[in-house]
Structure 1
């Protein structure tokens, strides 16, 4: 980040963005103990803005603070992961049912979603798990956005951080899964293009089962 840009970003925001990025990317896995001093050193900041950032991340359930000891990265609990998956199935399934009912052609939906699938191919090829997780989240969010239900879109956005973290956690130990996920996303897109809401729901369930539920044994 250029010096002029860094100066314009509040110190606490810089500490927050860096720490959150380390958590969501899996560089700080669940259960990791971190200190204010460690983040202060990375960001070249004092501990005061780092403390503010830690408090903010604790409010988001990403950190648990322990006075005079530091903070522990909160793992994604199996029960919470299942909650996220169930919400995703409900929101994405409802979105595709609404899309399928449209009388007009899906010319403003399918090409956009196809572009979001294409954006996954390069990180899948290079094994860039973090970038792939962002592209994965963008595709699934794009499905909900395409339905035109603004309320559902806002609710879905609250899952974004957990969704990205879960993708990184699922894919990092299984890098060969990246190409498989691109093909599964293509299959989901085909169901949308065919206005096959029931088929989409079945394909999405299988997709989430294979990617996430196999990791937790659910």
Structure 2
């Protein structure tokens, strides 16, 4: 039983990583056989992994055909971005009211910017996710922080999708993050929110994100 369980866990982790990194893009149909061959396992653990991924909303199962990777819909994208804007804006307003907290956060964000410049690919999406998480973590609302953390996988997948759509978006992300950091360093939460709205809309190709 334990061997079967660990095989299903491994397949689940590998397939989910392919989805989050957009190596398996939304709209793609994959079969149990393909994944079983790729992961060197039987179809049983693949079926269990697919059921778990479907329950989490990452896949839609079609008997005898395979599993469809659920694409990120326009409504979902907008709702995630609007939620992010509210949570990050709230954290920024809290942080800039405390000079010591602001200085500590800005130092962490500048280190993150340096890491951004030194990497690309899947690691870039992870570092992008970390940048925004640092801002929220610096706020003092634990409920908003937990909610934002729960969006982490969706945020990472959306960033990876943007990078697959336009490789040059990484330069925009870095430049936007630098501007966001400067706004926080200046203690200007209103400018931060305006910049964040433009950043999220531009990177994720959404017409406008309400502030």
TM-score, normalized by length of structure 1? 0.88
Runs (4+) of structure 1 exceeding 6 A deviation are: none
The alignment's C-alpha RMSD in Å is 1.7
Q: What is the CA–CA distance in structure 1 between the aligned matches of 2:178 and 2:59, rounded to whole Å?
A: 35
Q: What stretches of structure 2 of length at least 5 have no aligned partner?
A: none
Are 2:172 and 2:203, in contact at CA under 8 Å, matched by a contact in 1? no
Partner of 1:207: 199
Q: What is the CA–CA distance in structure 2 between the aligned matches of 1:160 and 1:104, rounded to whole Å?
A: 27
Q: What stretches of structure 1 of length at least 5 have no aligned partner?
A: 1-6
* Residue aligned with 1:141, SS: helix
Are 1:159 and 2:151 matched, yes or no?
yes
Q: What is the CA–CA distance in structure 1 between the aligned matches of 2:179 and 2:162, rounded to whole Å?
A: 20
Cα shift readout 1:77-128 (whole Å, capped 9, x = no counterpart): 00000000000000000000110122545332221121122211122xxxx3
Q: What is the CA–CA distance in structure 2 between the aligned matches of 1:36 and 1:157, rounded to whole Å?
A: 31
Q: What is the CA–CA distance in structure 1 between the aligned matches of 2:7 and 2:109, rounded to whole Å?
A: 37
Partner of 2:80: 84
TM-score, normalized by length of structure 2? 0.91
Partner of 2:95: 99
Partner of 1:149: 141
Q: What is the CA–CA distance in structure 1 between the aligned matches of 2:56 and 2:153, rounded to whole Å?
A: 10
* Residue aligned with 1:29, SS: coil
Q: What is the CA–CA distance in structure 2 between the aligned matches of 1:52 and 1:206, rounded to whole Å?
A: 41
Which residue of 79, 101, 112 maps to 2:108?
112
Q: What is the CA–CA distance in structure 2 between the aligned matches of 1:55 and 1:200, rounded to whole Å?
A: 41
Are 1:100 and 1:196, in contact at CA under 8 Å, matched by a contact in 2? yes
Which residue of 7, 29, 44 maps to 1:11?
7
